[in-house]
Structure 1
Amino acid sequence: MKRLFLLAGLMLSATTVHAQDKVTIEFVYPYSAIFDVTYEAILPRFQEAHPNIEVKFRASYEEYEDASNTILREAVSGNLPDVTMQGLNRQQILVENDIAQPLDPFIAKEADFEVEGYHPAMLQLSTFDDQVYGLPFSVSLPVGFYNTAMMQDAGIDGFPATWDEVIAACGTLREAGYENPIFWDWQITGNWLFQALMWSQDKPIVEGNAMTLDSPEALVALQTIQKIVNECGMKNLSVEEAITSFTSGEIPMLFSSTSYVGRISRGNADLAFTTASFPGIDGAPLGLPAGGNAAMMTSTSDDPAVRAAAWEWIKFLTSGEGAADVARTTGYMPPNRAANELILADFYDRYPEKASAVEQLPLMREWQAYPGANGLAITQVIYDGLERLVTGEQPDMEELQQELVDEVAELLPH
């Protein structure tokens, strides 16, 4: 009997120790409509591999601007998560404000880190002052989405390679009875597609601490958007309305992030659609901005166990298997060699609609953050300017360009 009590006591003691050894980390990510299904796939495998780590999910960010603003507020209030997903163009502000922590000390302890698939070119997206502050989780490039049945019905063979060809296709589609033939996602986070039009001309929107909104390329970008809006008769839908309209077979052409592939497929499994390369100005684009997000450590815990657990979560998310789930559930490219070359060996043959971004990888350029502490405000100024363009409030592109130049100049560091 004494032995039974002793065994029971030992078992209770072991259980107590095991419970005490469990570490909880807090995690938050943007775009629940895109990524919920991804984390639903990843989390059970992580829990199986790390039963002593509990990942507590906070309410998701709406988009990348919300992610940046929220983290900046939480840094002031002392309520930071242990791991956060931030847009590739929003990492720098966390580095400059000493919110994000370098991952090099953790990477240094990993054996064969690059062999696990972390491609140096992808790591460069999250490297500042020669230190790695994030591991890219998902990478996208802009593409064209096409309803193949509607395009064929209008007699359009192939897919437009330039915006002039897109506009010509709009005319053909309208003649065939499609009143709203296009949506160009001008509202997308971080002025991403505006930067795409700039990079298409091999012109960055930021050079050093200056912006190039006064350049001929910026004027061409504005004029191109105006032609898409006016000559295609594009309606000013919200992004949600546009995706729903495309998914339901009302819009033949949609231009946005390849990340929407999974969402569109889940929204209408019977929809016949494909993707193709993003059109250029006078030919193929000379460059395109890399979209997506990276996992960053923002833990303020003094407990080494918490920080170690946060690193295990970051590492698992961006590993070959974790990155492969990104491709399987969304349209993002996994920024991990192991996922692209091994786990997903025949994936893009089976799902060609997810391959367009991969085919454009040689065009990948930086999704640029705007200089100084007012980067988010500059993003809003450009957004507001594009809204005036799309709604027709400002029909003169040279005037609009000057308005943007003047408004942004007040926000740049001096």
Structure 2
Amino acid sequence: MKRLAAIAVAAAALHAVPAGAVEIEVGYPYSHLFDVTYEKIMESFKKEHPEIEVTFRATYEDYEDGTNTILREAVSGNLPDITMQGLNRQQVLVEKGIAKSLEPFIAKEADFEKDGYHKAMLDLGTFGGEVHGLPFSVSLPVGYYNMDLVKKAGTTALPKTWDEVIQLCQKMSANGVKNPMFWGWNITGNWFVQALMWSQDKPIVEDGRFTIDSDEGLVSLETMKKLFRGCDMQNLSWKEALASFSAGEIGMMFWSTSALGAVERAKGDFELKTAEFPGIGQKPKGLPAGGNAALLVSTSDDPERLQAAWTFLKYITSGLGAAAVAETTGYMPPNKAANEIILADFYKKNPNKETAVRQLPLLREWIAYPGDNGLAVTQVIYDGIESVVVGDQDDMKALQEELQEEVTDLLPAPAKGS
């Protein structure tokens, strides 16, 4: 059961709880990525705060599952104290009054800014001028390369554009590589669709309006089709793709840097390299920030429990907690103290994890679809892209029109004058 891993982490870390300890509950996604992170964090947190007992709930399958779970728990009155949510899923929880403002706690922290939070990262969790989410981990899309299979294609040069990716796919295929590439179309929140749009400096939602009907939208759809067809890409689930790449069966994989730690732990005997995310004919002009943030959703009116929740929330997003994220995953810490002090030499020794750091100047917003139908919009776009992956749709202009119509029907009407 998916709860077992989280319970095991909690049990190992929380032994010898003193009488009178304040208990808080925490929910987080992606057990395969973050179990080792929280285990590492809890080793130090428990030593520093023996007065706080942390219980981890069943892990969320992904960010969509996390948001759906919290929405259900808000109705049933069974919310945890802290939930980790995708950066693009915070807004709906703020708008529904589920996520609490952190400003009252921040106001009492004389050295809060000195803890090293990047303002740009804080902005991702700021709504109505108030901070509601502290960023826990930040990711960007990167390329993963099995250099043994790349060399089998007669080269060591890594592609900088999607056309070059297709050329390398064809060289790999000609040299016996059965599955040259996987491209993460099915990653959470239509993240790779937004990556193609931001590569052209175009947000997928602008002034409340869906923009897939733009020239950039059509280029994005056509680029996906060229990749899927030109690389004979198999229709794998994301779990199958990560396992297959780790087993040495896929030549190159385009995915979030977040999985790097998991891939390194699981990979077979081949040389792994990461490189910057390719662009459409040139270097990307922007890329969406992935990752998640810590939100306070407690319904408790006990000031000690709320303070304990804040203590934990602040700890996991500040220096030591943020450093643990980088050391155990491929995420980047959204915290200057972690990047500049604790991890000063880390990236020199771990060049594959430095790739995403080099892309930080390209960081753009991971856009939330406005209104109550954001999750439904995500599914519509997912289904549309899947129709291209499986070969049911070859007319990208027709798909563009279909997506524009269906998504527009689900979004709130843009404000007049927009």
In the superposition, the TM-score normalised over structure 1's length comes to 0.94
Q: 1:20, CA displacement in angstroms? A: 5.9
Contact 2:248 2:268 in 1 (8 A): no
Determine the structure 1 residue equivalent to 2:5.
none
SS of 2:101's partner is coil
Q: Indicate yes or no: 2:71 matched with 1:72.
A: yes
Aligned to 1:46, the other structure's residue is in SS state helix
Specify the alignment match of 1:314 in structure 2. 313
Cross-structure match for 1:12: none
How far 1:269 sits from its partner (Å)? 6.2
Counterpart residue identity of residue 364, structure 1: L
> Structure 2 regions of 5+ residues with no counterpart?
1-16, 414-418
SS at match of 1:146: strand
Question: What corresponds to 1:246 in structure 2?
Answer: 245
Equivalence for 1:38? 37
8 Å CA contact 1:26–1:83 kept in 2: the answer is yes
Once residues 200 and 99 of structure 1 are traced to their aligned partners in structure 2, the CA distance between those partners, rounded to angstroms, is 33
In the alignment, is the contact (CA less than 8 A) between 1:142 and 1:258 conserved in 2? yes
SS in 2 for 1:151: helix
In 2, the alpha carbon distance for the partners of 1:384 and 1:250 equals 26
User: Residue in 2 aligned with 1:193?
Assistant: 192
Measured in 2, the distance between the counterparts of 1:223 and 1:194 equals 11
Question: Hey, what's the Cα distance between the residues in 1 that align with 2:272 and 2:78?
Answer: 44
CA distance in 2, matches of 1:132, 1:266: 35
- Shift of the 20–360 alpha-carbon distance from structure 1 to 2, 3 Å rule, reads same
Query: Which residue does the alignment assign to 2:328?
Result: 329
**Alpha-carbon distance in structure 2 between the residues aligned to 1:135 and 1:225:** 33
Find the counterpart in structure 1 of residue 136 from structure 2. Answer: 137
Q: How does 1:281-360 map to 2 (within 5 A)?
A: 281-360=280-359
Q: Which residue of 2 aligns with 1:88?
A: 87
Q: Could you tell me how far apart the structure 1 residues matched to 2:147 and 2:391 are?
A: 30
Alpha-carbon distance in structure 1 between the residues aligned to 2:50 and 2:380: 47
Aligned residue number for residue 386 of structure 2: 387
**TM-score with structure 2 length normalisation?**
0.93
Alignment of 1:14-413 (within 5 A): 21-268=20-267, 270-413=269-412
4+ residue runs of structure 1 moved beyond 6 angstroms?
Answer: none
Largest Rg, 1 or 2: 1
Q: Is the 8 A contact 1:324 1:339 kept in 2?
A: yes
Q: SS at the partner of 2:371?
A: coil
Q: What per-residue deviation string (whole Å, max 9, x for no partner) do you get for residues 184-204 of structure 1?
A: 011100000000000000000
Residue 19 of structure 1 deviates from its aligned partner by 5.7
Are 1:141 and 1:289, in contact at CA under 8 Å, matched by a contact in 2? yes
Q: What is the rounded CA distance, in whole Å, between the counterparts of 1:156 and 1:269 in structure 2?
A: 21
Percent identical among aligned pairs is 62
- CA-CA distance at 1:270 after TM superposition: 3.6
Distance (whole Å) between structure 2 residues aligned to residue 201 and residue 180 of structure 1: 28
Deviation at 1:68, TM superposition (A): 0.6
- Summarize deviations over 1:251-293 as a string: whole Å, max 9, x none: 1100010011100111026431011000000200000000000
Q: Which moved more, 1:267-276 or 1:170-179?
A: 267-276
| Deviation of the 1:117 alpha carbon | 1.1
2:143/2:252 contact within 8 Å kept: yes
Q: Secondary structure at the match of 1:293?
A: strand
Asked if the contact 1:247–1:271 (Cα under 8 Å) also holds between the matched residues in 2, the reply is no
Equivalent pair of 2:26/2:54 in contact (CA under 8 Å) = yes
**C-alpha separation between the residues in 1 aligned to 2:157 and 2:351?**
15
What secondary structure is seen at the aligned counterpart in 2 of 1:21?
coil
Q: 1:157: how far off?
A: 2.6
What SS is found at the alignment partner of 1:137? strand
Letter in 1 for 2:190: N
**Structure 1, unaligned stretches of length 5 or more?**
1-17
Q: How many residues align?
A: 397
Q: Give the match for residue 8 of structure 1.
A: none
3-state SS, counterpart of residue 250 of structure 2: coil
- The 3-state SS of whatever aligns with 1:280 is coil
Letter in 1 for 2:61: E
Root-mean-square deviation (Å): 1.1
**Larger displacement relative to structure 2 (71-80 or 151-160):** 151-160
Give the SS at the match of 1:59: coil
For 1:304-349, what per-residue CA distance to the aligned partner results, in whole angstroms no more than 9, with x for missing partners? 0010000000011011110000000000000010110111111111
Question: 2:373, 2:410 within 8 Å by CA — same for their partners in 1?
Answer: yes
Matches of 2:300 and 2:376, distance apart in 1? 31
